[in-house]
Chain A
Amino acid sequence: MHMADALISPAVGGTMWAATAGLIAWCAKKVKELHDDRLVPMMGVLGAFIFTAQMINFTIPATGSSGHLGGGLLLAVLLGPHAAFLVMASILTVQALFFADGGLLALGCNIFNLGFFPAFVAYPLIYRVLVKNPQNRLRLWSGSILSAVIGLQLGAFAVVLETMASGISDLSFGTFVLLMQPIHLAIGVVEGLATAAVVSFVVYARPEAVHSTERPVMTRRALTGLILTAVLLGGVASWFASGKLDGLEWSLEKTTGREELAAPEEGIHSNLAQLQEKTAFLPDYTFKVGETEPDLPEEHEAAWPAVDAGTSLSGLLGGLITLAAAAGIGYSLRTRHKNE
């Protein structure tokens, strides 16, 4: 489920980097507040364990094919959500750097998709509720499978949204959703099976290992974080969408001389006109097709390249500014830590 750089626009990549950087800083703060030095080597070694376990394949019961562990949910069960998120982030970073799984720009998206959903949604809201006592086999297996499936479905859906927002692939939303969700339903079941298999062994062989490392989770705080992230994402996205960079676009067109001066004006104009038409005809769907079809295609084709150049520039600037913001957040956190 790793996303690749080549399919992500700088705006989407930068936004997800900012979200992930914020989450890493928050999780690091949370783990630090536990004042448990033992966690430092434990997180490192368990990261190496998950990394290795991802390469061990097993036969999926009742089918011929094989699958392997992803690890997000198991880490949350063993370490609690905050430490699990950090470990998952480190695994994905090493994979991006050493194996070219995903890429640097997509790293923010990948950490969010594969770390956030299992650690902060599937584990606290589903696994902890369903699997109160891992010694109850039915609860353990059903809870693990259900939470793994939901975690992966959300992750897969996030992949679709991020790819759509980037606009580099031509796949339509519906097609991509229909491709991604069923595949990840199967992957989710495998993930749940593998997680339950490992947890059930550990519960049997050394019951204290699951309990001793498990941390209490603050669901309300996690939810507040989720809402804040959503607000941030929405704000950044709408800022990108608003036409604040018109002047800059205009001057870019002028210096490169690729398009006539009128082109961007016309692009925006036609888009607005199209939008107006859409809203105006919304109550009467039957009229829409016949009335707008004839003159739209030419106008559309003429307008697109110009709009493209504008959006990519805004993406570049936006991505850079978001990255700078992420670095700024990190820097301010560092100085505050020093003062403490």
Chain B
Amino acid sequence: MKAARYIEVGQMDELGRLDTPLHRLDARVKMAVVALFVVTVMSFPRYEISGLMPLFLFPFVLMSSGNIPSGAILKKVALALPFALFVGLFNPLLDHSPVLTLGSWTVSGGWLSLTSILLRFTLTVSAALILLACTGIYRLCAGLEQIGVPALFATQLLFLYRYLFVIGDEALRMIRSVRMRSAGSKKLSLRTYSTLTGHLLLRSIDRAQRIYRSMVSRGFAGQIRVLYRTRPGWRDAVFLIGWSAFFILVRFWNPAAALGGWLTGEHP
């Protein structure tokens, strides 16, 4: 049981509740800009490295203006790294075509594309995490509903998020009591697992029925109303247009290469 995961959820939740100018921006605008960012990152050719660099400006600016500690984001990115590494690690083994020579050292295409994959991974994953940390799940769900995502799905996200802690705590208590009774053996047998998870499921179903009854008694009629309805203002427009212009600019003009060319005296 990875209890640490719950603590991390708590941290993201706290960050999402902050009240900075970035947090107050319209959720739809932030979603659109992050989507454009991810598409921009992934649209670069496979060996691109220098062209990706200017894009790091985006997560950095957002983290600083949203009061989001970079350590929290980086830790999560590192935890999620194995899959990208698993598939990307084959590139150096398969692609031996030399693409770059630094003195006597030749870099093969595989190593370049692996580096590019890892850079893209860091950029896109941190963007997703920052989106949540600078918006919060409630504003995000309200925004989703406003752009036309079915209300049922937005409600489902909110419900799942709300009861994650409750059911998770319940599971933690159950696991703890099993451990205390099983004298040092750490793993659950399939039989114990079946009973334990089955009980947790039945308790969850019971809880859902109680929740439903209390919702009905408070006037629930099939739809949850979310409070955070916002209207985009001039700040949102500046945020959207500014970042979009930046992404388009760095997609078609590589300032890193131009700078490198200028510094090395070669024609860019």
Are A99 and B5 in contact, with the CB atoms below 8 A?
yes
Other-chain contact of A105, B9, B39, B45, B215 (Cβ < 8 Å): B39
**CB proximity of B79 to chain A, nearest CB, Å:** 7
In angstroms, Cα B202 to Cα A213, docked, is: 12
> Which of B83, B207, B209, B220 gathers the greatest number of chain A CB atoms within 10 Å?
B83
> Is A330 in the interface zone, CB < 8 Å from B?
yes
**Chain B residues within an 8 Å CB radius of A53:** 171, 197, 200-201
> Is A6 in the interface zone, CB < 8 Å from B?
yes
From A54-62, A122-130, A278-286, A288-296, give the one contacting chain B. Answer: A54-62
Are A202 and B198 in contact, with the CB atoms below 8 A?
yes
In angstroms, Cα B120 to Cα A97, docked, is: 17
From A24-32, A224-232, A239-247, A268-276, give the one contacting chain B. Answer: A24-32
Other-chain contact of A42, B117, B190, B208 (Cβ < 8 Å): B208
- Of all chain A residues, the one with the shortest Cβ separation from B129 is A100
A residues contacting the other copy or chain, number (CB 8 A): 96
> Is A287 in the interface zone, CB < 8 Å from B?
no
**Chain A residues within an 8 Å CB radius of B221:** 37
From A149-157, A161-169, A215-223, give the one contacting chain B. Answer: A161-169
**CB proximity of B81 to chain A, nearest CB, Å:** 9
**CB proximity of A77 to chain B, nearest CB, Å:** 11
Are A167 and B43 in contact, with the CB atoms below 8 A?
no
Are B128 and A97 in contact, with the CB atoms below 8 A?
yes
> Which of B8, B84, B160 gathers the greatest number of chain A CB atoms within 10 Å?
B160
In angstroms, Cα B188 to Cα A18, docked, is: 41
Are B153 and A57 in contact, with the CB atoms below 8 A?
no
Are A10 and B160 in contact, with the CB atoms below 8 A?
no
Other-chain contact of B190, A93, A168, A193, A334 (Cβ < 8 Å): A193
**Chain A residues within an 8 Å CB radius of B127:** 104
Are A105 and B91 in contact, with the CB atoms below 8 A?
no
**CB proximity of B211 to chain A, nearest CB, Å:** 4
Other-chain contact of A46, B79, B132, B196, B204 (Cβ < 8 Å): B204
How many inter-chain contacts with C-beta < 8 Å in the A-B complex? 300
**Chain A residues within an 8 Å CB radius of B212:** 37-38, 40-42
> Is A136 in the interface zone, CB < 8 Å from B?
no
- Of all chain A residues, the one with the shortest Cβ separation from B9 is A98
**Chain B residues within an 8 Å CB radius of A52:** 164, 167-168, 170-171, 200
> Is B147 in the interface zone, CB < 8 Å from A?
yes
> Is B34 in the interface zone, CB < 8 Å from A?
yes
> Which of A86, A201, A206 gathers the greatest number of chain B CB atoms within 10 Å?
A201
Other-chain contact of B150, A8, A14, A24, A101 (Cβ < 8 Å): A24
Other-chain contact of B128, A8, A28, A96, A252 (Cβ < 8 Å): A96
> Is A186 in the interface zone, CB < 8 Å from B?
no
Are B156 and A45 in contact, with the CB atoms below 8 A?
no
Are A6 and B118 in contact, with the CB atoms below 8 A?
yes
**Chain B residues within an 8 Å CB radius of A163:** 87
> Is B252 in the interface zone, CB < 8 Å from A?
yes
Given A53-B200, A99-B5, A10 and B43 contact (CB-CB distance below 8 Å):
yes
**Chain B residues within an 8 Å CB radius of A261:** none
> Is A302 in the interface zone, CB < 8 Å from B?
no
In angstroms, Cα B5 to Cα A98, docked, is: 9
Other-chain contact of A98, B118, B124, B132, B189 (Cβ < 8 Å): B132
- Of all chain B residues, the one with the shortest Cβ separation from A328 is B148
**Chain B residues within an 8 Å CB radius of A93:** 157
**CB proximity of A35 to chain B, nearest CB, Å:** 8
**CB proximity of A102 to chain B, nearest CB, Å:** 8
Are A48 and B160 in contact, with the CB atoms below 8 A?
yes
- Of all chain B residues, the one with the shortest Cβ separation from A61 is B190
In angstroms, Cα B98 to Cα A269, docked, is: 25
> Is A145 in the interface zone, CB < 8 Å from B?
no
Other-chain contact of A169, B38, B91, B156, B253 (Cβ < 8 Å): B91
> Is A7 in the interface zone, CB < 8 Å from B?
yes
- Of all chain B residues, the one with the shortest Cβ separation from A256 is B252
**CB proximity of A180 to chain B, nearest CB, Å:** 10
Given A167-B46, A197-B197, A330 and B148 contact (CB-CB distance below 8 Å):
yes
In angstroms, Cα B140 to Cα A53, docked, is: 25
- Of all chain A residues, the one with the shortest Cβ separation from B109 is A170
> Is B246 in the interface zone, CB < 8 Å from A?
no
Are B124 and A103 in contact, with the CB atoms below 8 A?
yes
Q: List 11 A-B contacts (CB under 8 A).
A: A6-B124, A9-B42, A41-B211, A45-B163, A47-B156, A59-B189, A97-B131, A197-B198, A198-B201, A205-B198, A252-B252
A-B pairs, 7 with minimum CB distance: A44-B159, A201-B198, A28-B150, A6-B121, A197-B194, A58-B193, A316-B43
| Known contacts A43-B159, A48-B167, A59-B189; 19 further A-B pairs (Cβ under 8 A) | A2-B83, A24-B150, A25-B150, A44-B162, A49-B167, A89-B153, A90-B156, A94-B157, A94-B161, A97-B128, A99-B80, A100-B77, A103-B38, A104-B131, A163-B87, A202-B202, A205-B199, A313-B43, A323-B35
- What is B's interface to A at a CB cutoff of 8 Å? 1-2, 5, 8-9, 12, 34-36, 38-46, 76-77, 79-80, 83-84, 87-88, 90-91, 94-95, 97, 110, 113, 117-118, 120-121, 124-125, 127-129, 131-132, 137, 140, 147-153, 155-164, 166-168, 170-171, 175, 187-190, 192-202, 204-205, 207-209, 211-212, 215-216, 220-222, 224, 251-253
- What is A's interface to B at a CB cutoff of 8 Å? 2-10, 13-14, 24-25, 28-29, 31-32, 37-38, 40-49, 51-53, 55-61, 66, 69, 78, 86-87, 89-91, 93-94, 96-101, 103-105, 163, 167-172, 175, 193-194, 197-198, 200-202, 205-206, 209, 213, 252, 255-256, 301, 305, 308-309, 312-313, 315-316, 319-320, 323, 327, 330-331, 333-334
